[in-house]
Structure 1
Amino acid sequence: MALIMWRVLGKGTYGTVFLVASTDLDAPPIAVKSCLLHRSSSLRGLPRIVQWFGSTTSIKNGVQYYDLLLKYAAGGTLADVIQKGKGLQEEDVRCYTRMILRGLCSMHSFGMVDCDLKTSNTHITQRR
Protein backbone atom coordinates (compact mmCIF):
# COMPACT_ATOMS: atom_id res chain seq x y z
CA MET A 1 0.00 0.00 0.00
CA ALA A 2 1.43 3.36 -1.01
CA LEU A 3 0.39 6.81 0.18
CA ILE A 4 -0.31 9.67 -2.20
CA MET A 5 -0.18 13.26 -0.93
CA TRP A 6 -3.16 15.29 -2.06
CA ARG A 7 -2.62 18.71 -0.52
CA VAL A 8 -1.38 20.70 2.46
CA LEU A 9 -4.06 21.08 5.15
CA GLY A 10 -2.05 23.38 7.38
CA LYS A 11 1.36 24.49 8.47
CA GLY A 12 2.46 25.43 11.96
CA THR A 13 5.39 25.75 14.30
CA TYR A 14 5.95 22.01 14.62
CA GLY A 15 5.36 20.86 11.08
CA THR A 16 3.06 20.53 8.13
CA VAL A 17 -0.15 18.50 7.91
CA PHE A 18 -0.96 16.82 4.61
CA LEU A 19 -4.15 15.17 3.38
CA VAL A 20 -3.05 11.77 2.12
CA ALA A 21 -4.82 8.98 0.23
CA SER A 22 -3.88 5.35 -0.03
CA THR A 23 -3.59 3.37 -3.23
CA ASP A 24 -6.00 0.99 -1.47
CA LEU A 25 -9.31 2.44 -2.68
CA ASP A 26 -11.20 1.11 0.36
CA ALA A 27 -8.98 2.98 2.82
CA PRO A 28 -10.22 6.41 3.97
CA PRO A 29 -8.00 9.48 3.51
CA ILE A 30 -5.71 10.25 6.44
CA ALA A 31 -3.80 13.26 7.68
CA VAL A 32 -0.04 13.08 8.07
CA LYS A 33 1.66 15.54 10.38
CA SER A 34 5.28 15.76 9.30
CA CYS A 35 8.14 17.52 11.05
CA LEU A 36 11.92 17.39 11.16
CA LEU A 37 12.97 14.25 13.02
CA HIS A 38 14.99 16.16 15.62
CA ARG A 39 11.85 18.20 16.53
CA SER A 40 9.52 15.22 16.80
CA SER A 41 9.60 14.63 20.57
CA SER A 42 6.43 16.74 21.03
CA LEU A 43 4.47 14.77 18.42
CA ARG A 44 2.73 11.61 19.55
CA GLY A 45 -0.66 10.05 19.44
CA LEU A 46 -2.74 10.62 22.56
CA PRO A 47 -6.12 9.28 23.64
CA ARG A 48 -9.04 11.72 23.17
CA ILE A 49 -7.10 13.95 20.82
CA VAL A 50 -7.26 12.62 17.25
CA GLN A 51 -7.20 8.92 16.47
CA TRP A 52 -3.73 7.98 15.34
CA PHE A 53 -2.65 5.04 13.26
CA GLY A 54 1.06 5.05 14.05
CA SER A 55 4.14 6.83 12.87
CA THR A 56 7.00 6.41 10.47
CA THR A 57 10.02 8.31 9.21
CA SER A 58 10.66 9.54 5.71
CA ILE A 59 13.43 11.29 3.82
CA LYS A 60 12.64 14.30 1.66
CA ASN A 61 15.44 16.08 -0.19
CA GLY A 62 18.01 14.30 1.97
CA VAL A 63 16.39 15.44 5.25
CA GLN A 64 14.83 12.98 7.71
CA TYR A 65 11.23 13.62 8.85
CA TYR A 66 8.97 12.11 11.48
CA ASP A 67 5.45 11.43 10.15
CA LEU A 68 2.47 10.97 12.46
CA LEU A 69 -0.45 9.20 10.75
CA LEU A 70 -3.79 10.60 11.99
CA LYS A 71 -7.49 10.34 11.31
CA TYR A 72 -8.48 13.02 8.82
CA ALA A 73 -10.63 15.59 10.63
CA ALA A 74 -13.08 16.19 7.79
CA GLY A 75 -15.16 18.63 9.85
CA GLY A 76 -12.45 21.31 9.63
CA THR A 77 -11.52 23.39 12.64
CA LEU A 78 -13.68 24.79 15.41
CA ALA A 79 -12.90 28.24 13.98
CA ASP A 80 -14.40 27.10 10.63
CA VAL A 81 -17.54 25.82 12.37
CA ILE A 82 -17.98 29.10 14.29
CA GLN A 83 -17.38 31.27 11.23
CA LYS A 84 -19.61 29.29 8.84
CA GLY A 85 -22.43 28.99 11.36
CA LYS A 86 -22.19 32.59 12.60
CA GLY A 87 -21.38 31.43 16.13
CA LEU A 88 -22.38 28.45 18.25
CA GLN A 89 -25.49 27.50 20.15
CA GLU A 90 -25.10 27.07 23.93
CA GLU A 91 -25.47 23.28 23.63
CA ASP A 92 -22.64 23.17 21.06
CA VAL A 93 -20.40 25.30 23.27
CA ARG A 94 -20.94 22.83 26.13
CA CYS A 95 -20.24 19.84 23.88
CA TYR A 96 -17.05 21.25 22.32
CA THR A 97 -15.82 22.54 25.69
CA ARG A 98 -16.30 19.08 27.22
CA MET A 99 -14.36 17.45 24.34
CA ILE A 100 -11.52 19.99 24.62
CA LEU A 101 -11.26 19.53 28.38
CA ARG A 102 -11.15 15.73 28.01
CA GLY A 103 -8.36 16.12 25.46
CA LEU A 104 -6.43 18.46 27.75
CA CYS A 105 -6.85 16.06 30.70
CA SER A 106 -5.46 13.27 28.52
CA MET A 107 -2.47 15.42 27.55
CA HIS A 108 -1.85 16.42 31.18
CA SER A 109 -1.91 12.76 32.27
CA PHE A 110 1.09 12.24 29.96
CA GLY A 111 2.85 15.31 31.39
CA MET A 112 2.17 17.45 28.32
CA VAL A 113 0.83 20.99 28.06
CA ASP A 114 -0.75 22.63 25.01
CA CYS A 115 0.74 26.11 24.64
CA ASP A 116 -1.22 26.94 21.49
CA LEU A 117 -4.83 26.06 22.26
CA LYS A 118 -7.15 28.01 19.98
CA THR A 119 -10.16 27.38 17.78
CA SER A 120 -8.05 27.23 14.59
CA ASN A 121 -6.00 24.38 16.14
CA THR A 122 -9.03 22.43 17.35
CA HIS A 123 -9.97 19.96 14.62
CA ILE A 124 -13.42 18.43 14.32
CA THR A 125 -13.66 14.86 13.02
CA GLN A 126 -17.39 15.28 12.44
CA ARG A 127 -19.88 18.09 12.80
CA ARG A 128 -22.48 17.97 15.55
Structure 2
Amino acid sequence: MRPANAQQAVQHMEHLLARKLTGKRSSRVREHLNRAKRIAAIIHYQFQVGPYQYQVKHLRWYLATQTAQLKPAARYRHWLTIKYCVYALNKEAHWMGVLQGSWQTPATIKTLSNDEALSQSGQPTSL
Protein backbone atom coordinates (compact mmCIF):
# COMPACT_ATOMS: atom_id res chain seq x y z
CA MET A 1 0.00 0.00 0.00
CA ARG A 2 1.30 3.43 -0.93
CA PRO A 3 1.89 5.69 2.09
CA ALA A 4 -0.42 8.69 2.34
CA ASN A 5 2.21 10.99 3.81
CA ALA A 6 5.88 11.19 4.79
CA GLN A 7 5.14 9.94 8.30
CA GLN A 8 3.68 6.71 6.94
CA ALA A 9 6.65 6.34 4.58
CA VAL A 10 8.95 6.60 7.60
CA GLN A 11 6.91 3.94 9.42
CA HIS A 12 7.09 1.64 6.40
CA MET A 13 10.87 2.07 6.25
CA GLU A 14 11.19 1.30 9.95
CA HIS A 15 9.08 -1.83 9.52
CA LEU A 16 11.08 -2.93 6.48
CA LEU A 17 14.50 -2.56 8.10
CA ALA A 18 13.57 -3.64 11.62
CA ARG A 19 13.10 -7.18 10.34
CA LYS A 20 16.37 -7.30 8.39
CA LEU A 21 18.94 -5.43 10.50
CA THR A 22 20.47 -7.48 13.26
CA GLY A 23 22.51 -6.29 16.20
CA LYS A 24 22.08 -4.22 19.30
CA ARG A 25 19.65 -1.37 18.79
CA SER A 26 21.99 1.00 20.64
CA SER A 27 24.73 0.60 18.06
CA ARG A 28 25.05 1.26 14.34
CA VAL A 29 21.68 -0.35 13.73
CA ARG A 30 19.96 2.65 15.30
CA GLU A 31 22.04 5.01 13.16
CA HIS A 32 21.02 3.14 10.01
CA LEU A 33 17.36 3.15 11.06
CA ASN A 34 17.40 6.89 11.72
CA ARG A 35 19.20 7.60 8.45
CA ALA A 36 16.78 5.32 6.56
CA LYS A 37 13.82 7.21 8.04
CA ARG A 38 15.27 10.51 6.79
CA ILE A 39 15.87 8.97 3.37
CA ALA A 40 12.27 7.70 3.25
CA ALA A 41 10.89 11.13 4.13
CA ILE A 42 13.00 12.87 1.47
CA ILE A 43 12.13 10.37 -1.25
CA HIS A 44 8.44 10.54 -0.32
CA TYR A 45 8.52 14.33 -0.51
CA GLN A 46 10.07 14.18 -4.00
CA PHE A 47 8.28 11.19 -5.55
CA GLN A 48 5.30 10.40 -3.23
CA VAL A 49 6.32 6.73 -2.90
CA GLY A 50 7.15 4.60 0.09
CA PRO A 51 9.92 2.03 0.58
CA TYR A 52 7.88 -0.84 -0.85
CA GLN A 53 7.29 1.14 -4.07
CA TYR A 54 10.90 2.26 -4.57
CA GLN A 55 12.47 1.92 -7.96
CA VAL A 56 16.19 2.07 -8.51
CA LYS A 57 15.83 5.59 -9.95
CA HIS A 58 14.55 6.88 -6.60
CA LEU A 59 17.58 5.61 -4.69
CA ARG A 60 19.99 6.73 -7.39
CA TRP A 61 18.41 10.20 -7.33
CA TYR A 62 18.88 10.36 -3.57
CA LEU A 63 22.53 9.34 -3.72
CA ALA A 64 23.33 11.68 -6.61
CA THR A 65 21.51 14.79 -5.41
CA GLN A 66 21.01 14.63 -1.67
CA THR A 67 24.49 13.44 -0.73
CA ALA A 68 26.44 15.57 -3.22
CA GLN A 69 27.47 18.16 -0.61
CA LEU A 70 28.43 15.63 2.07
CA LYS A 71 31.93 14.52 2.92
CA PRO A 72 32.98 11.18 1.39
CA ALA A 73 32.65 9.31 4.70
CA ALA A 74 29.09 10.58 5.18
CA ARG A 75 28.18 9.71 1.58
CA TYR A 76 29.50 6.22 2.21
CA ARG A 77 27.32 5.83 5.32
CA HIS A 78 24.27 6.87 3.28
CA TRP A 79 25.30 4.32 0.63
CA LEU A 80 25.50 1.59 3.27
CA THR A 81 22.03 2.45 4.55
CA ILE A 82 20.60 2.37 1.04
CA LYS A 83 22.38 -0.93 0.45
CA TYR A 84 20.60 -2.37 3.51
CA CYS A 85 17.29 -1.10 2.11
CA VAL A 86 18.00 -2.80 -1.21
CA TYR A 87 18.79 -6.08 0.56
CA ALA A 88 15.63 -5.79 2.65
CA LEU A 89 13.61 -5.36 -0.55
CA ASN A 90 15.35 -8.40 -2.14
CA LYS A 91 16.41 -6.32 -5.15
CA GLU A 92 20.20 -6.58 -4.80
CA ALA A 93 20.64 -8.82 -7.86
CA HIS A 94 19.05 -6.24 -10.16
CA TRP A 95 19.82 -2.91 -8.51
CA MET A 96 23.37 -3.06 -7.15
CA GLY A 97 24.96 -2.66 -10.57
CA VAL A 98 22.90 0.45 -11.29
CA LEU A 99 23.70 2.02 -7.92
CA GLN A 100 27.42 2.26 -8.64
CA GLY A 101 28.98 5.63 -7.92
CA SER A 102 31.55 7.67 -6.08
CA TRP A 103 29.63 7.16 -2.83
CA GLN A 104 30.82 3.54 -2.61
CA THR A 105 34.20 4.42 -1.09
CA PRO A 106 34.54 5.90 2.39
CA ALA A 107 37.19 8.43 1.35
CA THR A 108 38.50 9.93 -1.82
CA ILE A 109 42.08 9.35 -2.81
CA LYS A 110 43.85 12.62 -3.40
CA THR A 111 46.16 12.52 -6.37
CA LEU A 112 49.11 14.83 -6.56
CA SER A 113 50.25 16.61 -9.66
CA ASN A 114 53.82 16.05 -10.81
CA ASP A 115 54.97 19.40 -9.37
CA GLU A 116 53.42 18.66 -5.97
CA ALA A 117 54.94 15.19 -5.89
CA LEU A 118 58.42 16.52 -6.70
CA SER A 119 58.23 19.34 -4.17
CA GLN A 120 57.13 16.89 -1.45
CA SER A 121 59.96 14.50 -2.27
CA GLY A 122 62.50 17.16 -1.37
CA GLN A 123 64.12 17.21 -4.78
CA PRO A 124 64.26 20.50 -6.64
CA THR A 125 62.00 20.90 -9.60
CA SER A 126 63.66 21.67 -12.92
CA LEU A 127 62.47 24.44 -15.17
Is the shorter-chain TM-score for this pair beyond 0.5, marking a shared fold? no
Provide TM-score, normalisation by structure 2.
0.27
Structure (1 or 2) with the greater helix fraction: 2
Which structure has greater strand proportion? 1
The structure with higher relative contact order (CA 8 Å, sep 6+) is: 2
